[in-house]
Amino acid sequence: MPAVDALGRPLGVLRLSLTARCNLACPYCLPDGQEPPGLLSLEQRLQLITAAVALGARSLRLTGGEPLLYPQLEALIRACQALREQGLHEIALTSNGLLLSAERAQRLRSAGLDRLTLSLDGSNPASVATMAGLADEAAGARALQQVLEAIEHARCAGFDPATGALKLNAVIQRGRNEDQLLPLAALGRQRGLELRLIEYMDVGNRNGWSGADVVPAAAMVQTIHERWPLEAMGRAQHGTANRWRYSDGHGAVAVVASVSEPFCGDCNRLRITADGIAYTCLFAAPGSGVDLRPWLQPGITPAQLHQAMADLWIARTDRYSETRERTGATKQPHAEMAYLGG
Ligand code: SAM
Ligand code: SF4
């Protein structure tokens, strides 16, 4: 039986941040240049994943920061394979793709990674440079080329977009890259990739978020629908994305509307940072997480760690996104995205 929180939501997904560092500095995210002190070891990460699976997590998403910077990534994925017998269904990774060489993609696949989501917020050098915080168009052109190559490396390694094993994420920000909606949709259609358009979220404090910078999902869908008609597929239970199929048969596009159409009601995600702090909401305040390191020390039994994680999940009442307007909570401080694990 999965652990169920105070609002009746079962634990289903563990999002594990492997590093708070990144090789980009997207202005909407702005990661730390350095790791927090007290990074977990591979063994400690495995203990956390094991406990989460025992509490009902069926999906593990490895993220960051940029998870390809974590040198033991493949070793961790390999070590997780034994947990499939305990109920782990899938292991997924979110990456900006810059470090995804053909060889790395093969190594990840052989280690047992099931799904890969690559992030790309523009289809031309100027927009990539703007969204990724790069110095100039030349750097934007290099990054764009690297991500486009990464998509093909992933495909060749066996991450098949037709089965949902390879997807593309794009954050859309008003006044910055909303002109990229149709070009990104075209790119997804040409390459057979499901594009997931993410509303710009009020995670972290460094990005200076304002509601005026959000392009609501409904407006994104309308823009695409006017060019390529769409049919609603809905949002899977516990899912983050509302999916739409192209009426002409060219695949699907999705929107993650966590600002305009929050989905806290069935949120099943537990986040653990690279230094072992558990957060039960993406919009949590800094310092509000539960430090799990005391339960990762020698002499502590797996049952004690299991109990500590069960306790924090059972007490969970977060529904920030559903209450942000009413409570004016956007003015409260938020932990940073790259630290929490996006
Ligand atoms: N570095 C990897 C990447 O960019 O894919 C993984 C970590 S990143 C934090 C995970 C996802 O969060 C990315 O797709 C990124 O675009 C998204 N993201 C970061 N900050 C965001 C924000 N303020 N609003 C919406 N999405 C955001
Ligand atoms: Fe790095 Fe991903 Fe944040 Fe961009 S969104 S700065 S790639 S962690």
CATH of the domain at 25: 3.20.20.70
Asked, for residue 5, whether it belongs to a domain, the answer is no
Beta strands of 24-135 (E only): which ranges? 59-63, 90-95, 115-119
Q: What is the pLDDT along the chain (342 residues), one digit of tens a residue?
A: 899 999 999 999 999 999 999 999 999 999 988 899 999 999 999 999 999 999 999 999 999 999 999 999 999 999 999 999 999 999 999 999 999 999 999 999 999 999 999 999 999 999 999 999 999 999 999 999 999 999 999 999 999 999 999 999 999 999 999 999 999 999 999 999 999 999 999 888 889 899 999 999 999 999 999 999 999 999 999 999 999 999 999 999 999 999 999 999 999 999 999 999 999 999 888 889 999 999 999 999 999 999 999 999 999 999 988 888 666 666 678 888 888 887
Q: Residue 1 has what pLDDT?
A: 82
Q: Which ligand is nearest to the CA of 173?
A: 1
Asked, for residue 182, whether it belongs to a domain, the answer is yes
Residue nearest (by alpha carbon) to ligand 1 atom 9: 342
Asked, for residue 101, whether it belongs to a domain, the answer is yes
Asked, for residue 7, whether it belongs to a domain, the answer is no
What spacing in Å lies between the alpha carbon of 29 and ligand 1's midpoint? 7
Nearest to 172 by CA among 194, 195, 196, 199: 199
Q: Residue 218 has what pLDDT?
A: 98
Nearest to 281 by CA among 320, 314, 255: 320
Nearest to 70 by CA among 341, 334, 307: 341
Q: How far is Cα 209 from Cα 225, in angstroms, rounded to an integer? A: 27
Contact residues for 168 (Cβ-Cβ < 8 A; gap 6+): 117, 118, 119, 120, 151, 184, 187, 188, 193, 194, 195, 196
Q: Residue 330 has what pLDDT?
A: 60
Q: How many structural domains are present in the chain?
A: 1
Contact 99, 64 (CB under 8 A): no
- The answer to whether the CB of 17 is under 6 A from ligand 2 is no
Domain encompassing residue 233: 13-340
Asked, for residue 67, whether it belongs to a domain, the answer is yes
Testing ligand 2's pocket by substitution, the residue of 17, 26, 203 carrying the most ligand atoms inside 8 A of its CB is: 26
Q: In what order do the strands lie in the sheet with 277-279?
A: 230-235, 242-246, 252-256, 194-199, 166-172, 115-119, 90-95, 59-63, 13-17, 269-272, 277-279, 290-291
Q: Please state, in angstroms and as integers, the Cα–Cα distance from residue 37 to each residue in 55, 206, 275, 277, 282, following that order.
A: 27, 20, 7, 12, 21
What spacing in Å lies between the alpha carbon of 326 and ligand 2's midpoint? 30
Judging by DSSP bridges, how do beta strands 90-95 and 115-119 pair with one another?
parallel
Asked, for residue 50, whether it belongs to a domain, the answer is yes
Asked, for residue 6, whether it belongs to a domain, the answer is no
Residue nearest (by alpha carbon) to ligand 2 atom 3: 29
Residue nearest (by alpha carbon) to ligand 1 atom 19: 29
- The answer to whether the CB of 273 is under 6 A from ligand 1 is no
Asked, for residue 228, whether it belongs to a domain, the answer is yes
Q: Residue 329 has what pLDDT?
A: 61
Q: Which ligand is nearest to the CA of 24?
A: 2
Testing ligand 2's pocket by substitution, the residue of 68, 96, 256 carrying the most ligand atoms inside 8 A of its CB is: 96
What spacing in Å lies between the alpha carbon of 172 and ligand 1's midpoint? 11
Total-model pTM: 0.96
